[in-house]
Amino acid sequence: MRKIKDYLQLIKLSLSIMVVFSSVISYLLAPKVVEYDWVMIVLLFAGGMLVTGSANAINQVVEKDTDAQMKRTSTRPVAAGRMSATEGWVFAVITGALGVFILGYYFNWLSAGLAAFSLFLYAFIYTPLKKVNSIAVLMGAVPGALPCLIGWTAGDDQLSTGGWILFAFQFFWQFPHFWAIAWVAHRDYSSVGFKLLPADEGPTKFTALQTIMYSLLLFPVTVLPYFTGMSSYDGITGIISLVLILLANFFMLWRCISLYKKMDVSSARRVMFGSYMYLPVVLLALLMSKA
């Protein structure tokens, strides 16, 4: 049982589920997916979980010494010494390869290639950049948004407009989300040399202003599906979905403005948890109004 718990912690289960959720919803939004084939949905979920879990495992192996120094990560299996780095690498290679294979064999090799590219960016570009420059957040936002494009491509067999809109949505969403996390964990992060906030001075008005700017960018991106034929605001369902998306955007903006006004950890934590709620609300609202 302890070993199972360690592997679940190695793949960052809750984070992986959230990432794969966005991929599955994006797949269902693709125009070629006209009915819910639960076998294919489960296969996409499994492939996505394996690739995401692999990336998270590599992240923990590479950062084992850093994780051991931070209170919030010191109990991770590799950092705590319950799992060797070699075991972590073997797990990551097997799960990553299997996940890419599932996506390629059962869906298409374009989505599999995107998944492999996402894994590479997260594990080998974003992870080491965290100690170099805050541009790491920008680089990390790319693999963080690719699950939407992967899911869409798995369903549509091509890189089309809808997939890029979903990619842009999750890309912009990550900035207020991640900066809120970095604000809350700033003391831990700065103690090990992570540079994840846009200002070198740490949590500042500039950082809070950046969260507002990116939350504002979410407004046009989240209504684009209604003007490109992805979604429809005809009928009561479409109107409800559009209203839900607008309310979610105002909710996210309000929390970021509150952070700017109060400049405290509690407000940053509210942005963080608010962003967790925001993402599924918008994605499910888009699915509800699929044209």
Question: Exposure string (b/e) for 212-243, b if CB count within 10 Å is 16 or more?
Answer: bebbebbeebbbbbbeeebbbbeeeebeebbe
Check residue 132 and give its pLDDT.
Answer: 82
8-state DSSP, 76: S
Least confident segment among 119-123, 175-179, 226-230, 261-265? 226-230
Strand partners, 231: 290
Query: What percentage of the chain reaches a pLDDT higher than 90?
Result: 70
Taking the C-alpha atoms of residue 197 and residue 132, their distance in angstroms, rounded to an integer, is 12
Q: Mark out the alpha helices in 228-291 (DSSP H runs).
A: 235-262, 265-288
Question: Exposure string (b/e) for 198-210, b if CB count within 10 Å is 16 or more?
Answer: beeeebeeebbbb
Neighbour tally for 174: CB within 10 Å: 20
Most confident of the following: 48-52, 69-73, 204-208 = 48-52
Neighbour tally for 19: CB within 10 Å: 25
Q: Read off the pTM.
A: 0.93
Q: Mark out the alpha helices in 79-204 (DSSP H runs).
A: 85-106, 109-120, 127-129, 135-156, 161-184, 186-191
Check residue 68 and give its pLDDT.
Answer: 82
Considering the segment(s) 1-159 as one domain, its CATH architecture is Orthogonal Bundle (1.10)
Check residue 224 and give its pLDDT.
Answer: 94
Return the closest-CA partner of residue 189 out of 83, 273, 70.
70
Return the closest-CA partner of residue 210 out of 178, 232, 239.
178
| Extents of the domains making up the chain | 1-159, 164-291
